[in-house]
Amino acid sequence: MDYAVIMAGGSGTRLWPLSREKRPKQVLKLFEGQTLLRLCYERLMPIFAPENILVLTNSSYVELVQENLPELPPENIIAEPAVRDTANAIGLAATVLSIRDPQATMAVVTADHIIEPAAIFIDAVKDAIRFVNQKTDSLFTFGIAPTFPASQFGYIRCVSPAVSDGFKNHVYTVDSFREKPDQRKAQEYIDSGQYFWNSG
């Protein structure tokens, strides 16, 4: 079965003073009266059954998640026992899902991204799920075609396409991940045609 895990545990310190410890950015009504968490959830609805969407959050934000997504079953809100890094959070979600469904395929998204148009995101996630269900020992990440030499983003170096038939997007084999380069190196990455921004 396919599942989505929304990571919504961050405190949003970079959006201070709007985002506070008791009201993090993912639950602020910043976009036409909607929260980032609600927008993320609605982007996932065309892809995943509602009972297969989980939210991973800080234990102190569980009530805020329930307020924002009252239709979400309480058992689909996973409270982190301690605030750790992203890898630990994803590991917790994977452990919970492996107990619920040993055959689970998990898509991990963050609650604090603005993604427009949503249709492109939906197609990309559907391609990812299809690919991972065909190659069950695979991990999948999303790269964004760079439009300028950004030194504040990480990059993904891709080699030849892994597959193309029947997918709406190009699917590549990842060669390596590169941390935030300086401006000159970022330009070299773009000029090579082999790099994408790492979407996170």
Q: What is the mean pLDDT of residues 25-35?
A: 75
Per-residue pLDDT tens over the stretch 64-88: 999 999 999 999 999 988 777 788 8
Per-residue pLDDT tens over the stretch 178-199: 999 999 999 999 999 999 999 8
State residue 14's pLDDT score. 52
- From CA 133, how far away is CA 128, in angstroms rounded? 8
**Total-model pTM:** 0.85
In the chain, CATH 3.90.550.10 covers: 2-140
Q: How is residue 158 written in tokens?
A: 């891709």
Q: DSSP 3-state assignment of 77?
A: strand
CATH topology assigned to domain 2-140: Spore Coat Polysaccharide Biosynthesis Protein SpsA; Chain A (3.90.550)
Q: Is the pLDDT of residue 8 over 80?
A: yes
The partner residues of 78 in beta bridges, in order of sequence, read 56
CA-to-CA dists, residue 49 to 73, 127, 164, 189, angstroms: 12, 17, 27, 39
Q: Is the pLDDT of residue 44 over 80?
A: yes
